[in-house]
Amino acid sequence: MKGLLFTFGTTVGGSLAALINPFYGLLCYVSFAIVRPEAMWPWSVPPGRYSLILALAMLAGFVFTKSARFNLGRSFSVAALLLAFLGWSYFEAYFPPNQFLAWDYVERLAKIVIPFMIGLCCINDRRQLQQLAWTIVASQGYVAYELNSYYFSGYNVLRFDGFADMDNNSAAIGMVTGIGVAFFLSLHSEKLWQRGLAMFFCLLMGHCILFSFSRGGMLGALVAGMATVFVIPRTPKMYAFMLAAAVSAAVLAGPEVRERFMTTFVKEGGEREASAQSRIDLWKDCWDVTMQDPVMGCGPNHWPVLAPRYGWKAGKEAHSLWVQTLAELGFPGLFLYLGFYLLCIFRLWLLTWNSVSVEDEWCRYVARMALVGLCGFAVSAQFVSLEALEIPYYTALLGCGALKLSSIRNVERDHSPDFERERFDFAGIPPAVAAV
């Protein structure tokens, strides 16, 4: 019953709210993208076009209200790369032999990119950044709560069945991305209960990564932890917080988990573990496909079609988002797609510098949480093919929102007649770097 009430209530309420302010529709859309109501509660939620209803209401609100702000500041080039990637995918879809598969790829990508752009245009203040961060954390945290409930009841549904048509590796990537957002929300939220709730969700996500037995997820979580060390405020209190988190992770990781993780690197008798070796072989075959047409690739969604030529079963994925993108969309596609994430990470990293002046410190807080989440995702994605996983896009949207607000407000401040003009906000950074 709770699933049915949540789904219908969010659909109706979010659609009405979206007609007034499309950003509220986006929050509901993001929640549905993460929670997946029809997969979370299949016994009570009937199949329906809930996200489509929200998307149409959000689009109508975006067109007919004046809540959008089209000056994107330093997030413009990041968003432009994502739009260009959608455009390149659209162009590529005309040529492959299986048009259904190709256009299915474009359609799924458009369902993410269009809400992303609407959300970025509608983010105009700190409150909206906080709302988006909490929507991501609460939604992913609830999924983690349900998966933990199954685990402690005696059946590890995440490891054996996955979640919402995703296997354990793909679901673990969502947890890796969300854990960075949750951790920094627990540090920077204003109220004690908010900090406690965010940390609770963070621990649930971390535990999911461990009992998923996904080596890519564990490696991504480790990288996210290393990124946290670089961007966390350098105070004894914060380092104590980090130490407590590391100890918690070590306690939660049992011997079976540690043994599983070490098979990523260790060779026995000069050979890798079977599944690890199969990934290497898949990547080599994808490289061969790429070399046959480095510019166009084999077409969107077409590596699984070609897999039987190399001895794999039909429908076999490349088990690497980046390698499969290269094989299917060529070097231009990989440049645009990977560039979207890397440029976002780089600019967020600059924003975390103390030498960078920001009018609202929440922009710096958000930069930290989005950067850590995206670093974990970028590494984990090397081990699974899932371009339609939506939480990384919306974590990037969170970061782009911080870039937009920080740069626009600094420019507005610098041009204010009441402000004694100072050097632009990237003081202390070489001009060639700040210009990127």
Tell me the per-residue pLDDT of 334-345, one tens digit each, with 9 for 90 and over: 999 999 999 999
The residue segments making up the domain with residue 51 are 1-67
Least confident of 232-236, 238-242, 303-307: 238-242
Say whether both 20 and 116 belong to one domain. no
Say whether both 170 and 225 belong to one domain. yes
- Nearby residues of 101 by Cβ (< 8 Å), 6 or more positions away: 299, 300, 301, 302, 305
Say whether both 255 and 113 belong to one domain. yes
pLDDT at 422: 38
Least confident of 4-8, 13-17, 114-118, 268-272: 268-272
Establish if 432 belongs to a structural domain: no
pLDDT at 190: 87
pLDDT at 415: 45
Domain end position, chosen among 18, 38, 67: 67
Say whether both 266 and 230 belong to one domain. yes
H or E stretch including 382?
Answer: none
**Mean pLDDT for the chain overall:** 86
Say whether both 43 and 117 belong to one domain. no
pLDDT at 375: 95
Of 165, 135, 173, the C-alpha closest to 341 is 173
Establish if 423 belongs to a structural domain: no
pLDDT at 164: 86
Is the predicted pLDDT of residue 2 greater than 90, yes or no?
no
Establish if 417 belongs to a structural domain: no
Establish if 429 belongs to a structural domain: no
Quote the number of domains for the chain. Answer: 2
Distance of CA 49 to the CA centre of its chain: 23
Say whether both 268 and 377 belong to one domain. yes
Establish if 131 belongs to a structural domain: yes
The three-state secondary structure class of 404 is helix
Say whether both 49 and 183 belong to one domain. no
Say whether both 32 and 125 belong to one domain. no
Say whether both 56 and 152 belong to one domain. no
Establish if 430 belongs to a structural domain: no
For residue range 42-84, list pLDDT tens digits in order.
Answer: 988 998 899 999 999 999 999 988 777 888 999 999 999 999 9
Q: Which residue has the tokens 């975006």?
A: 62
Establish if 96 belongs to a structural domain: yes
Size (the chain), residues? 436
Q: What is the mean pLDDT of residues 213-236?
A: 85
H or E stretch including 74?
Answer: none
pLDDT band of 418, cuts 50, 70, 90: very low
Establish if 299 belongs to a structural domain: yes
Cα–Cα distances (Å) from 428 to 75, 93, 357, 362, 420, in that order, read: 21, 45, 11, 21, 19
Sort residue 266 into left (φ over 0), alpha (ψ -120 to 50) or beta.
beta
